[in-house]
Amino acid sequence: MKHVSLLMMSAAMMLASCATEKVQKENPVLIGKSTIQVSDKRMTPEALWAFGRIGEVAVSPDEKQIAYTVAYYSIPENKSNREVFVMNADGSQNRQITQTPYSENQVVWIKGGSKLAFLSSESGSSQVWEMNPDGTGRKQLTAYDGDIEGFAFSPDEKKLLFISSINVIPSTADLYPDLAKASGLLRSDLMYKHWDEWVTTAPHPFIADFDGNSIANVMDILQGEPYESPMKPFGGIEQLAWNTTSDKVAYTCKKKTGRAYALSTNSDIYIYDLKTKQHTNITEGNMGYDTNPTYSPDGKSIAWLSMERDGYESDWNRLFVMNLETGEKRFVSKSLDSNVDTYSWSKDAQTIYFTSVWHGKTQIYAVTLADEQLKVITEGVHDYASVALCGDKLIAKRHSMSMADEIYAVALNGEATQLTFENKHLYDQLEMGRVEERWMKTTDGKEMLTWVIYPPNFDPNKKYPAILYCTGGPQNAVSQFFSYRWNMQMMAANDYIIVAPNRRGLPGFGLEWNEQISGDYGGQCMKDLFTAIDVMAKEPFIDEERLGCVGASFGGYTVYWMAGHHEKRFKAFISHCGIFNMEVQYIDTEEIFFANWDMAGPYWDKNNPKVKNTYKHSPHLFVEKWDTPILCIHGEKDLRVPVTQGTMAFNAARVQNIPAELLIFPDENHWVLKPQNGILWQRTFFSWLDKWLKN
């Protein structure tokens, strides 16, 4: 399950593939760009993990330079490292300015553009450092007693806002000092676990004085209260913002703990006044997520992202603007029947540029605040993942199913110029399969977009096995994403045709389409998936006797459900971190608000017809109909869809003597982030498909 909305994730975090591990503090190893050679022009797991992964992007104050980071992975060392690059705003004179084993993160320009600030663990903990734009003059700026997880200098650079975690739940050693080595965690309320951790800490925003060389007078804005700001598991510095006069900080916070936290998505935007020490809730009365505040350049307004309904994490993600003088709040993106993901103000504060998905592609839009008129700036088969202003152009990251993130300059007429070529040395060795956009008629007469990805050197006179890709979320767009695990070109390179439908319950096709899935897991969305594979199976180049079905999270649930309903369509299944028993999932996940919304409530509410409809589709109720080989994959640290969901499904298959394999990762969560685990995942994935679809 997704269980988190995109607004809670930075653009670099939208997929698991974009996550970067922290380099170990002991015995660090220098990791740089791979020089791997690719044979027969086919994507391999090793080639995929050789890709440099572009992270944050920062435009200099004079808009003449761009700094950005790139993460590199080492398969032998089984770890990653992140380096800093600087180039001119036109893409020229691109140079790597760091080469250390300490992972420089969150690079920003400071001191009028004469310095770059960044996070590094060089001193043993994560602290703020600075260096010259050529990489020289490296100097530590903070020596805080704890890891700094994100930071932002005030506009006048006399203050530093930073994120650090504090202990919020007493340990058993605090209760019983004579048992200092006891490992037990004693809890009396919900939210004792989150994503992949047993909760003991909460991230807090701190403010400190800064004299240009070090910090002093550190103050916790939340005064030790047990709330999260930013919000776990993916919130970062984008959930906090300075005002233009450096005397106020806007921050995102869900001021709830325990059971109240587990049942609600009601976060708010608060403004903290450094002079009066007062906190003002500017979104009080809005019951859904409010996140990611940003002040306008003229200081007169503040924007943020807002959802309306409490408990619905995939609600319409709307762009709001508040006039700070009058208090008037406006929903400025209401003419767009889709979500706003990332956004940026124009210099004159009259326009906001943002990204949004529509019909399986994420484009850049502009909304003029005077009349709330919307304009689509870009077009094409790709996804834009970020947007920032640079002179008369926009600087944005862009990717597609055939290309990982690169940085582009986008003119306001939509003309895009590629500035970085981080992975050109790999693309030059690879041949990508054709990506085709197809629209299909669903069982209820709707039009559905399905992506079809063909093998390199596709021969229409041959017959190929095909794979139905079932996305997770459940409301996670099948757009032009580039994944380091569910990589469409990797699957196609193994001579499979990939069928990836935007079934019911996905954003980018209007609110009605997106919301239909809630409470109807085994209904229309499954009919849509069957439509996609049935339409494609009629093509002369697809062998309908060699079809597979794969997916993760809600896609993993889909696979388990399909195993009991597919009526001999498929010859092999692969489920990663999928829900097998919905009743168990309801009481074993951590964010109960998700289960209450999507499952309509607890399974014991037997008088609720929506609840009955939900749980009657639990895959475990149909195992007697299972008859097809299945591979179950799960991470033991997955606390969102706990590992027992995968082991139960595997056991159910083997008890019935159905061919099955179980791949467990004791050190992975809902995703697979370590290089060697990632390659093991790929090899197991294709070994299983080849065994049942090619032999």
User: So which residues are the catalytic ones?
Assistant: 553, 638, 670
Structure-block tokens of residue 660: 């099955």
CA pair distance 176, 15, nearest whole angstrom = 42
Alpha carbons 314 and 472: distance in angstroms, whole number: 13
Q: Which residue stretches of 403-459 are H helix?
A: 424-427
DSSP 380: S
The Cα 99–Cα 93 span in angstroms is: 17
- C-alpha dist (Å) from residue 50 to 23, 33, 46, 383, 560: 17, 7, 6, 22, 33
Whether residue 226 has a cis bond before it, omega within 30° of 0: no
d(CA 50, CA 64): 30
Helix (H, G, I), strand (E, B) or coil at 564: coil
Q: Please state, in angstroms and rounded to a whole number, the distance separating the CA atoms of residues 186 and 67.
A: 46
Q: Name residue 59's beta-bridge partners.
A: 66
Element at 588 (helix H, strand E): helix 582-588
Amino acid code (one letter) for 513: W
The tokens for 392 are 């008369």
Q: Which of 85, 52, 89, 87 minimizes the C-alpha distance to 69? A: 85
Question: Are residues 502 and 508 in contact, defined by beta-carbon separation less than 8 angstroms?
Answer: yes
β-pairing, 572-576 with 630-635?
parallel
Tell me how crowded residue 566 is: count the other CB atoms within 10 A of its CB: 23
* C-beta separation of 131 from 154 below 8 A: no
Secondary structure percentages of the chain, helix, strand, coil, to 5: 20, 30, 50
Torsion angle of alpha carbons 293, 298, 299, 304, nearest 10°?
-20
How do 572-576 and 542-552 pair as beta strands?
parallel
Cα separation, 319 vs 307, in Å, equals 9
Minimal CA–CA distance to 569: which of 466, 650, 649?
Answer: 466
Residue type, 329: K
Token pair in block for residue 466:
């095909």
Q: H-type helices in 135-257, by residue range?
A: 172-175
The sheet with strand 65-74 has its strands ordered as 53-59, 65-74, 79-88, 95-96
Task: Let me know if 614 is exposed, middle or buried by CB neighbors in 10 A (0-12, 13-18, 19+).
Answer: buried
Among candidates 82, 77, 75, which has minimal Cα distance to 675? 75
Sign of CA dihedral 367, 371, 375, 377: negative
* E strand or H helix that includes residue 208: strand 201-210
**Three-state secondary-structure class, residue 111:** helix
Please give the helix or strand (H or E) that residue 529 lies within, else none. Answer: helix 524-537
